[in-house]
Amino acid sequence: MQMNIALVKGDGIGPEIVTSAVAVLNAIGEKYGHTFVFTDVLAGGCAIDATGIPLPQETVDTCLASDSVLLGAVGGPKWDTLPGNIRPEKALLGLRSALGLYTNLRPARLYPALKDECPLRADIVEKGFDLLMVRELTGGIYFGDRGRREGKYGPEAYDTEAYSVMEIERIARAAFEAARKRRGKVTSIDKANVLETSRLWRETVHRLAAEYPDVEVQDMLVDNAAMQLVRNPSSFDVVVTTNMFGDILSDEASQISGSIGLLPSASLGEGKRGLYEPIHGSAPDIAGQNKANPLATILSAAMMLRYAFDLGEEADAIERAVDKALEDGCRTADIARGEGVRALSCTEMTAEVIKRL
Ligand code: NAD
């Protein structure tokens, strides 16, 4: 099988971690007889430097023509003072929208080998957790009408949240389908005691639930969800929620996993292509020092194999190799604690994973 993958290495540690994931994909390709053809494209700060804009049309075209897209991270202090419409982050929103990616999947689990990294109480850690956050990605308040105006008390700003039945249905369907492949439970998170969009959300999720009698559905208010994630994370299987709630809760979920350097994500639309990226940013503080943890990006590549190419066995092999490397004590600086624990570099950790494939 030959697969064309667009590489958006981006800024900061982006090039280092994407190079690691490419090395792992090449090793998997060799082992299982697949050919991955990679094409580098520019987005984010490096694209601003080279072309004056964060997302050149050529990048969009190449991504659209590819079978899948692997992204490192974009942004950094160098571009922080630019006006909003030419900031590196614009590239992310632009790519998601050009590729029609409305579903964001973020698995978060506790690696037994890293339980000392978890900030939760020992009895909660003992139970472990393994959840999948399904976040709506192209609607809601991040895309609604916004502006400044003269209000009752002088100048004010506003942002609006709108969700259509269609948008709720398609994200809820993604959650129900995912739950069928996991432990069969969906927790739908909203703020239905206050927000009209949440009431429509809840209504729509319940209507759709009738099509999935094998999946258990639970509603939860977002404030309660924020508490339950730290009190009882093992109670969650699949969590589905809006763009903004998902943005916040998935970062909370990442923190209880131990390190942001471990968590992958997949953004999906109607087709299989998708965009795969670690959930962390460009980590400018450690960029160019070969210190970054490459595991989140390597695990994102595994998600790509599973979702874009239906290569479940190959994805499992990568995930097992990462588990094994952690069990064997391999640690990058972000997760290296205790006396005598040597922090591996980004390239050393990558080699340890490849060794265990
Ligand atoms: P960040 O995730 O880049 O870094 C937060 C902390 O985590 C830093 O101390 C960093 O060193 C550490 N860290 C992150 N990834 C790591 C890894 N793989 N290995 C080891 N340590 C890691 O968040 P930030 O500092 O708030 O943002 C930095 C830049 O990244 C900003 O310009 C921001 O806009 C951008 N950003 C981009 C994305 C994206 O491209 N998807 C996401 C978030 C932030």
Question: Cβ atoms within 10 A of the Cβ of 33, count?
Answer: 7
Q: Is residue 280 lining ligand 1, measured as CB closer than 6 Å?
A: yes
Q: Is residue 72 lining ligand 1, measured as CB closer than 6 Å?
A: no
- Closest ligand 1 atom, CA of 286? 11
Q: Is residue 14 lining ligand 1, measured as CB closer than 6 Å?
A: no
Return per-residue pLDDT of the chain as tens, 357 residues.
789 999 999 999 999 999 999 999 999 999 999 999 999 999 999 999 999 999 999 999 999 999 999 999 999 999 999 987 789 999 998 999 899 999 999 999 998 888 888 889 999 999 999 999 999 999 999 989 999 999 999 999 999 999 999 999 999 999 999 999 899 999 999 999 999 999 999 999 999 999 999 999 999 999 999 999 999 999 999 999 999 999 999 989 988 887 788 999 999 998 878 999 999 999 999 999 999 999 999 999 999 999 999 999 999 999 999 999 999 999 999 998 877 889 999 999 999 999 999
Question: Cβ atoms within 10 A of the Cβ of 58, count?
Answer: 12
Q: Is residue 16 lining ligand 1, measured as CB closer than 6 Å?
A: no
Spatial distance between the Cα atoms of 284 and 8, rounded to a whole number of angstroms: 17
Ligand 1 center to 283 CA (angstroms): 4
CA nearest ligand 1 atom 22, residue: 261
CA nearest ligand 1 atom 25, residue: 283
Q: Mind telling me the catalytic residues? A: 142, 191, 223, 247, 251
Spatial distance between the Cα atoms of 268 and 182, rounded to a whole number of angstroms: 18
The segment(s) of the chain belonging to CATH 3.40.718.10 are 1-109+259-357
CA nearest ligand 1 atom 5, residue: 283
If one residue of 280, 335, 344, 346 were mutated to test the ligand 1 pocket, choosing by the most ligand atoms within 8 A of its CB, it would be 280
For domain 1-109+259-357, the CATH architecture is 3-Layer(aba) Sandwich (3.40)
Spatial distance between the Cα atoms of 71 and 77, rounded to a whole number of angstroms: 19
The segment(s) of the chain belonging to CATH 3.40.50.2300 are 119-132+146-242+249-256
Ligand 1 center to 116 CA (angstroms): 22
CA nearest ligand 1 atom 9, residue: 283
* pTM for the predicted model, two decimal places: 0.91
Max Cα distance, the chain (Å): 67
Spatial distance between the Cα atoms of 349 and 357, rounded to a whole number of angstroms: 13
Note the CATH number of domain 119-132+146-242+249-256.
3.40.50.2300
Q: Is residue 76 lining ligand 1, measured as CB closer than 6 Å?
A: yes
- Closest ligand 1 atom, CA of 297? 18
Distance, C-alpha 67 to centroid of its chain = 19
Q: Which of 27, 46, 73, 15 is nearest to 260 (CA)?
A: 73
CA nearest ligand 1 atom 10, residue: 283
CA angle, 268 as apex, 265 and 270 as ends, to 5°?
A: 170
If one residue of 282, 330, 345 were mutated to test the ligand 1 pocket, choosing by the most ligand atoms within 8 A of its CB, it would be 282
User: Can you give the C-alpha Rg of the chain in angstroms?
Assistant: 20
